[in-house]
Amino acid sequence: MSGGKLLEVRDLCVEFPTRRGTLRALDGVSFDIAAGEILGVVGESGAGKSLTGAAIIGLLEAPGRVAGGAILLEGERIDTLPPEAMRRVRGKRIGAIFQDPLTSLNPLYTVGRQLVETLRTHLPLDAAAARARAIDLLRQTGIPAPESRVDQYPHEFSGGMRQRVVIALALAGEPRLIVADEPTTALDVAVQAQIVALLRQVTQAHGAAVMLITHDMGVIAETCDRVAVMYAGRVVEIGPVDEIIRRPAHPYTAGLMASVPRLDGDVARLAQIEGALPRLDAIPGGCAFHPRCPKASPKCREERPELALVARTRAACWWPLTERGGAR
Amino acid sequence: MSEPVQGRRGAVVQARALGKAFELATPWLDRLLRRGVPRRVRAVDDVSFEIAPGRTLGLVGESGCGKSTLARLMVGLESPSAGEARIGGADVHATLAAGGGAARALRRGVQMIFQDPYASLNPRWRVVDIVAEPLVEQGLVTRAQAPERVAALLEDVGLKGADLRRFPHQFSGGQRQRISIARALATEPGFLVCDEPTSALDVSVQAQVLNLMVDLQRARGLSCLFISHNLVVVRYVSDDVGVMYLGRLVELAPKDELFRAPRHPYTHLLLAAVPDIERGDRRRAPVLGEVPNPLAPPSGCAFHPRCPHADARCSAERPQLLSAGATRVACHAVQEGRI
């Protein structure tokens, strides 16, 4: 990994107290992201991807709470900040991009007004300078004729253009970290490619770190430097993108990659992982994946594996898939 | 998996110059000034295709290209403003409008699976009532016989017979889509329309549901119209593939032909834009432009403003869907041999 760690997540636990006891939705999640790096986070719905993102930007919905661990941004703990201080961090030092661009924008204000408001909240700019900067941001995110578009309302933009506006908003405070939760899921493939290219280009230009949450392996493959695979509230494998795709060590990662339909090469049948992600109130003991795992042994049912280096990725598995095979 | 019960085979499905224009409400000022010139969107425009019994036609295109309207026309949920949809030789719209036994038989023979498994199942109904509804409605089973039939259907789609007393919220997204499939298959239809059936699902679950659908479709010999924005998914399930752009079919070809040798520049664009994990070296070419406003479609070939091969003829004259080898393609450049 190059450069310092811009974001460090250490042993993060998130809990939801319910009438029938406390549910642990994230259980010891650890990873870091360097400046200029894009970390992809993949997994099935309910694995904890979005929750991890929400915990980092301090927008966990009640009654969810951080029950343990630490989140450090540029070496400073942000998970313990009071809400008002966290609000200043969010927008200024952390930008957020969500799935649906229409719900991220206020339909009653022009995009220019929303950009100017964000800019002036976080940067010492007067109205004219903020407007010029807003136009500049729209231009950077590839919106044609930004001088006239700046005075239009969100409904006058197409889906792809709206997501560009959302990215411009996220970049307004010149954040060090961008958390993008399914930013291309609501978009058409052709527009997706444009947004993915834009995300890469702006992170390189701004030297920001990106946490890209998506279930689309194709987007991961062409955008990310490293990938973290989540299962039942834990990171089960993390490593360079090519290794995760081509030589996964965790049987879950391997199953996930095999179930992606490919464009080239005809398959008679898609590989599938049998069963379903366990519910939060019924996470199996030992390795949570063991009931669905073809390689599960008695040890997997009893002892929980921790992340450990296997070849070029780190995987939490007692029987990782390696060229030689066998236990670690 | 049980055998198909009565061996109802797939139906021949045809669209003949099918079109659907929606009239938009005009703002009152425009109405006053322009005097009753209603604005019309041609959601589907002059679309023709045929699905042979037991075959699957995949339809791809971006949002707003008319895929879903076409699906709704084929099952009779919309009435066409031009042309006709025929299933098993019967004009869908005319048959349904006439009512009676023929309409009943047609409804029984056509079923649809929708995208959102959370919205398409009534949350207050038990699974047994959801799946049995079309059967009871058609008079195929009595309420008393329903649980037995539903249990068998649930087992066909990989659920447990005992699940029939549960409510939709007790199931995951993939399981709910299995319930939708069980409901669609209950009346043993000959033609199944699937509108983005796996778009709301995770990849691992998507693989389970796609495998199930292909198995059931082959076992029952169903004719199928499969709509998706995802080319990779369409490639997996289809025999033939149609590409739509702004309401028109721009290319129609056997699956292997379309993916091996795409002809229309728009098909090229779509294929180049697919995120594929095998092409992780970031070779995906960023595509220029977006789908134009369907209220004011470009003249001539609707794709010409985004097309690298466009010339004067493309902006003036609309290309027809003509044969080019095994493919049918609507493109002047292809027909003139320029590409």
CB contact under 8 A, A190 and B270: yes
Q: Which H or E element spans position A178?
A: strand A177-181
**Given this model, what pLDDT does residue B23 score?**
82
Crossing angle of helices A189-206 and A159-172, in 10° steps, is: 10
pLDDT at B27 over 80: no
8 A C-beta contact, residue B46 and residue B66? no
pLDDT at A265 over 80: no
Predicted complex ipTM: 0.74
Best mutation target among A45, A198, A270, A281 (most B Cβ atoms within 10 Å) is A270
B223/B240 Cα distance (integer angstroms): 12
Q: Determine, for residues A189 and B229 on separate chains, whether the beta-carbon distance falls below 8 Å.
A: yes
**Residue contact A193–B273, C-beta within 8 A:** yes
pLDDT at A326: 45
Q: Give the pLDDT mean for A95-101.
A: 85
CB contact under 8 A, B204 and A272: yes
The burial class, CB within 10 Å (0-12 / 13-18 / 19+), for A80 is exposed
Q: Which chain A residue's Cα is nearest to B215?
A: A269
Q: What is the mean pLDDT of chain A?
A: 89
Quick one: closest CA in A to B284, which residue?
A193
Set of chain B residues whose Cβ sits within 8 Å of the Cβ of A219: 275
User: What's residue B278's pLDDT?
Assistant: 66
| Angle between the N-to-C axes of helices A111-122 and A127-140, in degrees from 0 to 180, rounded to the nearest 10 | 110
Q: Considering only CB atoms, which chain B residues are within 8 Å of A192?
A: 273, 275
Nearest CA in chain A to B231: A263
Q: How many CB pairs (< 8 A) connect A and B?
A: 129
Predicted pLDDT at B36:
62
Query: Which domains does chain B carry?
Result: 1-11+68-238 (3.40.50.300), 247-339 (no CATH)
Q: Which of A49, A260, A289, A292 to mutate to test the interface with B (most CBs of B within 10 A)?
A: A260
Q: Which of B174, B235, B270 sits opposite A189 (nearest CB)?
A: B270
Q: How many CB atoms lie within 10 A of CB B5?
A: 10
Q: What is the pLDDT of residue A190?
A: 74
pLDDT at B284: 56
Radius of gyration, CA atoms only, chain B: 21
Which of residues A195 and B185 earns the better pLDDT score?
B185
Alpha-helical runs (H) found in chain B: 28-34, 67-75, 92-98, 100-109, 127-137, 146-156, 173-185, 203-220, 231-237, 255-260, 265-273, 312-316, 332-335
Q: Do A161 and B202 touch (CB under 8 A)?
A: no
In the numeric block, the tokens 């019994």 are attached to B53
> Which of B294, B297, B270 lies closest to B284 in space, CA to CA?
B270
Residue B140 one-letter amino acid = L
Instruction: Identify which of B175, B236, B279 has the shortest CB distance to residue A261.
Output: B236
Q: With bands split at pLDDT 50, 70 and 90, how would you rate the model's confidence at A159? A: confident
pLDDT at B37: 66
Residue A64: both structure tokens together: 């969810």
Evaluated on CA atoms A142, A147, A150, A152, the torsion sign reads: negative
By Cβ distance, the residue of A160, A245, A260 closest to B203 is A260
Q: Taking CB atoms and an 8 Å limit, are B279 and A222 in contact across chains? A: yes
CA–CA–CA angle A125, A126, A128 (5° rounding): 115
Lowest mean pLDDT among A201-210, B182-191, B244-253, B309-318: A201-210
- Average pLDDT, stretch A111-135? 93
Predicted local distance difference test score (pLDDT) of residue B323: 92
Task: Please list, in sequence order, all residues whose beta carbon lies within 8 angstroms of the beta carbon of residue A84, skipping any fewer than 6 positions away.
Answer: none
Distances (CA, A) of B187 to B112, B145, B147: 12, 14, 15
Residue range B41-60, pLDDT digits in tens: 889 999 999 999 999 999 99
Q: How far is B287 from chain A (nearest CA, A)?
A: 6
Q: How confident is the model at residue A226 (pLDDT cuts 50, 70, 90)?
A: very high
How big is the CA angle at A228 (ends B173 and A174), to the nearest 5 degrees? 100
- pLDDT surpassing 70 at residue A174: yes
- Measured between CA atoms, the residue of chain A closest to residue B170 is A279
- Tell me which chain A residues have a C-beta less than 8 angstroms from the C-beta of B259: 263
The shortest CB-CB distance from A218 to any of B172, B274, B283 is to B274
Indicate if the pLDDT at residue B2 is higher than 70. no
Which of A182, A189, A293 should we substitute to test contact with B (largest number of B Cβ atoms within 10 Å)? A189
d(CA A80, CA A69): 10
Nearest 5°: phi and psi at B281?
Answer: -90, 25
CB B43 within 8 A of CB B222: no
- CB of A264 within 8 Å of any CB in chain B? yes
Average pLDDT rounded to a whole number, residues A41-54: 91
The per-residue pLDDT for A272 is 85
Whether pLDDT at A142 is above 90: no
Residue of A45, A191, A277 with shortest CB distance to B290 = A191
* Facing B284 at nearest CB: one of A188, A193, A262: A193
Chain B residue numbers with beta carbons less than 8 Å from the beta carbon of A223 are 282
Out of A89-98, B162-171, B246-255, the most confident range is B246-255
Per-residue pLDDT, B283: 53
Write the CB contacts of A305 (distance below 8 Å, at least 6 apart in sequence).
Answer: A287, A316, A317, A318
Q: Is A102 on the interface with B (CB under 8 A)?
A: no
Cα–Cα dist A265/B231, whole Å: 13
Amino acid B4: pLDDT = 37
Please enumerate in sequence order all residues whose Cβ is within 8 A of that of A306, keeping only pairs 6 or more positions apart, or say none.
Answer: A316
Distance from CA of B54 to the nearest CA of A (A): 17
User: What confidence score (pLDDT) does residue B5 get?
Assistant: 38
| For chain A, percent of residues with pLDDT exceeding 70 | 96
If one compares A144 and B195, the residue with the highest pLDDT of the two is B195
Q: Does the distance separating the beta carbons of B282 and A255 come in below 8 Å?
A: no
Task: Determine which helix (DSSP H) or strand (DSSP E) holds A171, and give its type and residue range.
Answer: helix A159-172
pLDDT for res A145: 87
Q: Are A264 and B232 an interchain contact pair (Cβ–Cβ within 8 Å)? A: no
Between CA A229 and CA A238 the distance in angstroms is 6
| Residue-wise pLDDT tens digits, A297-318 | 999 999 999 999 998 899 999 9
- The whole-angstrom distance between B261's CA and the closest CA on chain A is 12
Is the distance from CB of A208 to CB of A176 less than 8 angstroms? yes
Asked whether the beta carbons of residue A260 and residue B277 sit closer than 8 angstroms, the reply is: yes
Band of pLDDT at residue A323, cut at 50, 70 and 90: low
Q: How does residue B34 score in pLDDT terms, banded at 50, 70 and 90? A: low
Quote the mean pLDDT of chain B. Answer: 87
What local confidence, expressed as pLDDT, does residue A2 receive? 41
